[in-house]
């Protein structure tokens, strides 16, 4: 592993342990040249997942896009960063657990909404309003009424 400080190509692992997500390994490393320490994370490489968009275009799955949408829905809501990370990890477990090479974006959106509905109803409605492309107040109110009837 190359040192991020000096660029030396020989570093040593001085500590390894599972990362907080239990899906990767956290390694503390020491550079033999400059003696600085740094952390790396090692994750199992998975088969690339292709997302089929609404317009039938295909693109590689991108965790950052998923995270961005969920963060926007949870903006200024009492949802911790840890809860958001757990939600993203759960969604990824579900979609990668299907062991399919392609998944429609609509299925990913439905999975996210299932989780958000339990976590925070306001975040759920925010996400649903973008995901379902509410065109007017009437369609927005229909979604709110569904939530109220489920209680």
Q: Map out the domains of the chain as residue ranges.
A: 11-43, 50-150
Number of other CB atoms surrounding residue 64 within 10 Å: 7
* Average pLDDT value over all residues in the chain: 88
Residue in the block written with tokens 């390694």: 27
**Which of 118, 113, 33, 21 lies closest to 73 in space, CA to CA?**
113
> In the predicted model, is pLDDT for residue 78 greater than 80?
yes
* Predicted local distance difference test score (pLDDT) of residue 61: 92
* Predicted local distance difference test score (pLDDT) of residue 142: 80
What would you measure as the largest C-alpha separation in the chain, in angstroms?
Answer: 65
Looking at 43-52, 103-112, 135-144, which range is the least confident one?
135-144
> In the predicted model, is pLDDT for residue 151 greater than 70?
no
How do residues 33-61 score in pLDDT, each as one tens digit? Answer: 999 999 998 887 666 889 999 899 999 99
Q: Are 139 and 128 in contact (CB under 8 A)?
A: no
Q: What radius of gyration do the chain's Cα atoms show?
A: 20
């Amino acid at each position: 592993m190359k040192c991020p400080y000096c660029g030396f190509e020989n570093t040593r692992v001085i500590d390894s342990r599972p990362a907080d997500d239990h899906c990767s390994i956290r390694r503390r490393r020491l550079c033999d040249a400059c003696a600085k320490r740094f952390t790396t994370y090692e994750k199992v490489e998975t088969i690339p997942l292709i997302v089929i968009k609404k317009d039938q275009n295909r693109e590689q799955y991108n965790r950052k896009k998923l995270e961005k949408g969920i963060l926007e829905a949870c903006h200024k809501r009492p949802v911790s960063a840890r809860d958001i990370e757990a939600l993203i990890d759960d969604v990824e477990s579900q979609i990668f657990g299907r062991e399919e090479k392609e998944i429609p974006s609509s299925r990913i959106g439905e999975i996210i909404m299932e989780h958000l509905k339990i976590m925070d109803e306001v975040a759920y409605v925010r996400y649903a309003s973008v995901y379902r492309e509410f065109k007017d107040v009437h369609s927005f109110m229909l979604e709110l009424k569904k939530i109220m009837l489920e209680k």
